Amino acid sequence: MSVARFARAAPRRLLARRTLATDAHHHDHHGPADTNEYPKATVFTSTSRNFALGLAGFCAWLWFGPDAAEDFRVTRAIKSAMASQAQLAEVNSAMYAKRVAASEDKLLFNSATQPHIHRLRAPMIMDVASAYSAPVGSQDMSAIKPKRAGEY
């Protein structure tokens, strides 16, 4: 039987009694009542007071502060500590000249080729034949020291 059909079939007096939902509900499972006394909540706490005072001070500074045309102390200090445009241009041109010189040196070193070194992969070949078709034993080889890897 559906709920709607039951609602039509049941007498009104049965539906009016809702004792199971309200009266029979016991409050035993709740803990003991809270007996602590808490301070009253106020709107104007110290944090909101400080915020309101700070906002009022900032608005007063904007209203009564110096105009935009006037120079602030900080602005005057920065202007006096800054270098002039001529000094800045001189420093920039010196830095540019140094960078141009460094890039030219880099291009020069990168374009240079190392001298070709004839290395014998097997030094014992000198006992058999010369690398440049010179007859074996015709040249004094006592002063020659073979170069190892990494030696130039």
What digits encode the pLDDT tens for the residues 66-77? 776 667 777 888
pLDDT tens, 97-128? 999 999 999 999 999 888 887 777 777 666 66
Cα–Cα dist 38/33, whole Å: 14
pLDDT (0 to 100) of residue 46: 83
Chain centroid offset of residue 32 CA: 53
Cα–Cα dist 102/7, whole Å: 97
Q: Are 141 and 126 in contact (CB under 8 A)?
A: yes
Query: What are the backbone dihedrals phi and psi of residue 66, each rounded to the nearest 5 degrees, phi first?
Result: -70, 155
Q: What is the pTM of this model?
A: 0.30
